[in-house]
Structure 1
Amino acid sequence: MTDTLIVGAGPTGLTLACDLARRGLGVRVVDKAPGPPRSSRSKGPSPRSLEVLEDLGVVDAVLAAGAEPPLMRKYRDGVPLADADPHAGSRPTPAEPYDRGRLIAQWRLEEILRDHLAGYGVTVETGTEVVDLDDTGDSVTVHFADGSTTAARYVVGCDGAHSRVRKLLGIAFEGETHEEQVMVCGDVRLAPGTLDRGVWHQWFDEDGAVMLCPIPGTGTGWWFQAGPERDAEGRPLAPTEDGFRRLFARHTRLPAGHLTEATLLSTYRVNVRMVDRYRVGRVFLAGDAAHVHSVAGGMGMNTGVQDAYNLGWKLGQVLLGRAGAELLDTYEEERLPVAARTLDVTSERLRATLEAVKVPGGGLDTAAVPASRAPDRGYRWSSLAGAGGHTDGLRAGDRAPDAPCTLAATGTPRRLFEVFAGPHISLLGFGAGSERTLREAAAAHGGAVRAVRVHGRGSRGLATAGPNALHDVDGLAREAYGIERDSVVVVRPDNHVGLIADAGDPQAVRRYLRALDGGREPGQPRPAGVVDGAGEG
């Protein structure tokens, strides 16, 4: 029996698999496609998803394979009117190291995640279709199309908008399809030199539109999106290579033959749908299997990645016997409202974009959602948001900020995100009053908790501080967390603030940590798969 069977090998399923595998858990990933799916619809990870990918250890590969989001150039009647940069004026900050997403083909991102997963000894089982599920209460028996079966302690359906897992669970997918909002999509190749590859070109005319965005790392590859050709009755025609050439020539005023190849052709209709629950017994849903919405804002794949990141650590704690099964209830509690908000935001962005493109010079930059306004910023409503925080800005449930520090003993640069990286809970102790709580947490929870003292500017005794203690040289960590007196901050494994407590209230920290991690008495052996991390410095 495996710990978790993941159905679907897109970015959502692969993110979840990487998170579980690094915890030493048994994981299988199956996909009904005969080979690795090759999809280019998603244009890359958002700033928050880049933080997730950093934690998983693949962000450098993603940054190297991708590109900065390009300028958007708007045309009317074949004439360029204006360039727009949706990220103009945006810069990384100490608290938010990624101020914009990364442009990368979905298939390339999936390659990176599959390669990383293979490092844990896990390979995606393609050509493996799930046809039935039987939840016995203690495990789930999974039936495959070839007649074979397997058992798993939990199953997660990451199998897209047409999810077989969702249908087997009998969960409704309520919402609506906007038949009038239709787009044809595909990957195309243009003759070298046809268009500037540093620009996302957008032709919006009275009779339709064509958008061409360069695919990083392909040389001559482009994402093609357009309003469809229509028949005499106004019905959209299915996309074809010749049809793409006609649309290209009509709107760009360039020779049709400059479009040399078109693949992965598809028709996209705006669907706004979501489930009313993320779980039935031991089976969960994540990503497009649970919610679909307009492409405006680029949140589809990214919302799925966040689903996986939220669920992964909770499954890990339960499967390792470190938390009760009730922790899994918080997955739906936290992610269902985010999905609902995402549907609202993307629908509003689509409405604004459709209005903007009617005006010469308007374009897709209207669809951009600033990172600070994205729906995945936090879970203040969650039962896991511990009460009692005393900072004016940051609150329990919020995304945990980054900050540059140094190792107190050596002066080596060390960011908070480097402290958080890994499958553990992090404990930041600000001020000398936090030391007792840090020691107690390290003794009670072992490697499941990484407890780190953060020394302020002007602190004494840095040379004798523990090897993992930090020096907040410029005060940026205290600023980011709103710390004004000795405090302890608990950061969940998915890098959200769980609790902000006064250092004089160690019982609040103990109670909160017990909810996330049952802990152990000093000297008690660790559960299998838990590796000790850094102790209190």
Structure 2
Amino acid sequence: MSTEVLIVGAGPTGLALGIDLARRGVDALVVERAEELFPGSRGKGIQPRTMEVFDDLGVLDAIHAAGGSYPVGMIWQDGRRVGEHQMFDPAESTEDSPYEAPWMVPQWRTQRILFARLEELGGKVACGLEAVGIEQDEDGVTVRLNAGSATPPAEVRARYVVAADGGRSAVRRALGIGMTGETVDPNPTLVADVRITGLDRDNWHIFPPRGEGDGFLAICPLAGTEDFQVAAQLTDGSAVDLSLEGVRKVVAARSHLAPEDVTEVRWASDFRPRAALADRFRAGRVFLAGDAAHVHSPAGGQGLNTSVQDAYNLGWKLGAVLRDGVDEALLETYEEERRPVAADMLGLSTSVHRGEVRRGKATRQLGLGYRESSLTAETRRAPGAVRAGDRAPDGTLGGVRLFDAFRGPHWTLLAVGVQAPELPASVAVVRGAAQASYGTGLFLVRPDGYVGWAGDTAAGLPRYLARVGL
């Protein structure tokens, strides 16, 4: 069996990458060790920047329909409501940032939406296949996939492989790539999707520790479902009981609820919050993405979002090399751009977990960019607020909504108050007078929604276009 790109792992990262490659006409196969998609709510927060990515990938309407906004936190003590807690700093949408607040969607539902979109585009996912061996040469990668003890391993030959197989990535370990990190909290955390009676669904219910040695309990209604997500911090060294009786015991001990108020456990897991970053994001023709490359505390809601944006960065670059004949050197910019972002987001997640930083502007990820990337060229004499390397804001130019113009696997040139040069037909061009966010100038927007090149005139633009294969 052969394919152009083999993606190991059918989580949000692998599925998002599969979508991006499928819409570019790249033959890709997504394989998943488990027999089905992940069933839990774990990564339930979709940050505004990821909402913009989902807009481009064609799944935003489904994401909106499947979820809801975050409820206000309600603090309980001795069975009484004693106060409210705003989980996030307030934010309002603007013309240049239409999605300002995080959106809650249980991870299992996000994955089903991405899976459906991938199938719609003709993409392929195969479950029950575990990567058990990997070898690469100058022309490609051979991966051995195990379908169970009764079946001999099969071999898949690919031009490139992307490891999106989670924090315990088998591919990363096979490549010998280490991870450097720290334990954020030595105490284990129980997380479970449950059915509960006796609590309203209008609040995120918070039960602070009752005494020394106790941990918190938080019960959050999961938007778009009848479930609640229970999260409970346990003490270091304690056994974590994931059974119905075990979850009931924790909930009853830390709240006013009776054990029988927890009527069902639909999924449960435990973890020790840690932060870790892969020493490299690439080894030859193999790339690491998502949790295989960086592991976050869930407190800041950065893990899934950073992971999807890894895929968004890598997808167009693989497409350019495989479909447009761009020099493979373009792929070197994946690690160059994404590893520093992942490191920053790891620091942010850890700070939020420790209560040093609130969930605010930084956690929305709209300010992330690639100003220092070798793929970024800012040539204007006096750059304005939006510079090369920055996220390209939304807005209106010449009567055209910019996010509508950006949507799709193409580059876009904005000619704002200046004349647009002749460009290849593959580049969309939007013209108009001075624009509030951009000021004036020429802005070449990459397929992943970041300004790659900016100039007062077209001088130097042809050279940049040739570098990226346009």
Q: RMSD in angstroms over aligned alpha carbons?
A: 1.8
Q: The residue matched to 2:190 in structure 1 has which SS?
A: strand
Contact 1:100 1:371 in 2 (8 A): no
Q: Which amino acid aligns with 2:430?
A: V
Shift of 1:179: 6.0
Out of 415, 419, 422, which is 1:434 matched to? 419
Instruction: Tell me what 1:509 maps to.
Output: 461
Map of 1:78-89 to 2, 5 A cutoff? Answer: 78-87=79-88, 89=90
Q: The residue matched to 2:419 in structure 1 has which SS?
A: helix
Query: What is the CA–CA distance in structure 1 between the aligned matches of 2:346 and 2:231, rounded to whole Å?
Result: 21
Q: Deviations over 1:137-183 (max 9, x none)?
A: 11111111142111111100000001011011110012233562321
Unaligned runs of 5+ in 1: 354-365, 408-413, 457-474, 520-537
Structure 1 residues 229 and 294 mapped into 2: Cα distance closer, same or farther (>3 Å)? Answer: closer
Map of 1:95-494 to 2, 5 A cutoff? Answer: 95-145=96-146, 146-178=152-184, 180-191=186-197, 194-205=198-209, 206=211, 207-219=214-226, 221-228=227-234, 235-352=238-355, 367-371=358-362, 374=365, 377-389=368-380, 390-405=382-397, 407=399, 414-431=400-417, 433-435=418-420, 437=421, 440-442=422-424, 446-447=425-426, 449-454=427-432, 456=433, 478-483=435-440, 487-494=441-448
Shift of 1:424: 0.4
Unaligned runs of 5+ in 2: 147-151
Q: Deviations over 1:282-333 (max 9, x none)?
A: 1000000001021121001011001000101111101113421000000000
Instruction: Tell me what 1:498 maps to.
Output: 452
Q: Deviations over 1:359-407 (max 9, x none)?
A: xxxxxxx651325773861011101110313323211101100003464
Query: What is the CA–CA distance in structure 1 between the aligned matches of 2:117 and 2:397, rounded to whole Å?
Result: 28
- Equivalent residue pairs, number: 460
Q: Which amino acid aligns with 1:79?
A: R
Q: Which amino acid aligns with 2:277?
A: M
Instruction: Tell me what 2:149 maps to.
Output: none
Structure 1 residues 197 and 373 mapped into 2: Cα distance closer, same or farther (>3 Å)? Answer: closer
Q: Which amino acid aligns with 1:266?
A: S
Q: Deviations over 1:312-356 (max 9, x none)?
A: 111110111342100000000001111111111111111116xxx
Shift of 1:244: 1.4
**TM-score when scaled to structure 2?**
0.94
Q: The residue matched to 1:82 in structure 2 has which SS?
A: strand
Contact 2:241 2:247 in 1 (8 A): no
Structure 1 residues 406 and 375 mapped into 2: Cα distance closer, same or farther (>3 Å)? Answer: closer
Instruction: Tell me what 1:362 maps to.
Output: none
Query: What is the CA–CA distance in structure 1 between the aligned matches of 2:257 and 2:231, rounded to whole Å?
Result: 16
Shift of 1:101: 1.4
Query: What is the CA–CA distance in structure 2 between the aligned matches of 1:245 and 1:256, rounded to whole Å?
Result: 5
Structure 1 residues 268 and 376 mapped into 2: Cα distance closer, same or farther (>3 Å)? Answer: farther
Q: The residue matched to 2:353 in structure 1 has which SS?
A: helix
Query: What is the CA–CA distance in structure 1 between the aligned matches of 2:165 and 2:308, rounded to whole Å?
Result: 13
Instruction: Tell me what 2:74 maps to.
Output: 73
**TM-score when scaled to structure 1?**
0.82
Q: Which amino acid aligns with 1:315?
A: L
Query: What is the CA–CA distance in structure 2 between the aligned matches of 1:281 and 1:301, rounded to whole Å?
Result: 25
Contact 2:172 2:292 in 1 (8 A): yes
Contact 2:88 2:358 in 1 (8 A): no
Contact 1:132 1:142 in 2 (8 A): yes
Which stretch has the larger CA shift, 264-273 or 299-308? Answer: 264-273
The percentage of counterpart residues that share the same residue type is 42
Query: What is the CA–CA distance in structure 1 between the aligned matches of 2:367 and 2:293, rounded to whole Å?
Result: 16
Structure 1 residues 52 and 80 mapped into 2: Cα distance closer, same or farther (>3 Å)? Answer: same
Contact 1:303 1:376 in 2 (8 A): no
Query: What is the CA–CA distance in structure 1 between the aligned matches of 2:271 and 2:76, rounded to whole Å?
Result: 23
Shift of 1:39: 2.4
